[in-house]
Amino acid sequence: MKLLVTGGAGYIGSVVAELATDAGHEVVVLDDLRAGFRAAVPQGSRLIVGAIGDPAALAQAFASGPFDAVMHLAAEAAIEESTTNPALYFQVNLADSLTLIDAMRAHGVARLVLSSTAATYGEPRQVPITEDHPQAPVNAYGESKLMLETCLRWYHRAYGLRTVAFRYFNAAGATAARGESRRHETHLLPLALDAMAGRRPPLRVFGHDYPTPDGTCVRDYVHVADIARAHLLALERIDQLGLAFFNLGSETGYSVRQVLDAVARTLGREVPSEPAPRRPGDPAVLVASAARARAELGWQPEAGLDAIIRSAWEWRQRHPHGYRE
């Protein structure tokens, strides 16, 4: 297939582009490089620099088609920022995404694989969370993605747009070639590894009074390559599925403290940390049920937490400054 991968210079998007290229697909990456890096784009794929909401960039991208499918991973995704600057999240994740999808329609592209988020669920009523769980986001990031999901249901009904949307839990880890690197890092594992290596101050652990066993937030961690594999599986089934929403998670929750303990156990070094107040918009527990993805896509995660930590550390050792060498 010929694929347009938006956000393909970012963390998850670059790994999706990597695995798609390795599988023999022809990949064109569209990324404005505000958060992504040229160095993250796999060899063998073409990079078009531009934003998903820019009609000129979209015209250039689609002129390099025709495409069999779009894998849409370009998004704003920092939960805390979304509570203080919601306008950015609704603009990029909703309005600009619809501009992209309308460009797909104009160019006859009827398959979309979407990066959504577990943040659409909000505070869970039961754990593990299934795809039928009520969606009541507690931050603008989750709300913007839920609004896009709602639009896609109508686009499927009215225009026949075939969509597989993945509600990620916490992507982490690295392939041999690509890892987690951001100009403004907010994710636990890269922050913890940099603090352990002395490249950052002690890790700030946000909140110690959540209704969890040790008072810190509990999350479900999935290796980034496992997430990318799900995207390729979706391409094989999208015509039969028509419209489908899948959780991608390990079905196992780890608190922040348990992750730090796992880092110490796996790498033999403690992570310096200090307590900090809760961040706005953080649910206490997010753990997935991935039963639907197993049953309908044949997907299951292959890497556990220790393997995720080890892969992230090995990549960070080779790239101590990420892609900013």
The answer to whether residues 173 and 307 touch, using CB atoms and an 8 Å cutoff, is yes
State in Å, rounded, how far the first CA of the chain is from the last one.
33
Measured distance CA(270)–CA(58) in Å, rounded = 47
* Backbone CA torsion sign across 246, 185, 75, 150: positive
The answer to whether residues 208 and 277 touch, using CB atoms and an 8 Å cutoff, is no
The answer to whether residues 300 and 250 touch, using CB atoms and an 8 Å cutoff, is no
Is-catalytic flag, 141? yes
247-266 residues labelled b (16+ CB within 10 A) or e (exposed): bbbbbebbbbbbbbebbeee
- Which token pair is 306? 């220790």
Which entry of 141, 168, 210, 254 is annotated as an active-site residue?
A: 141
What residues act catalytically? 141
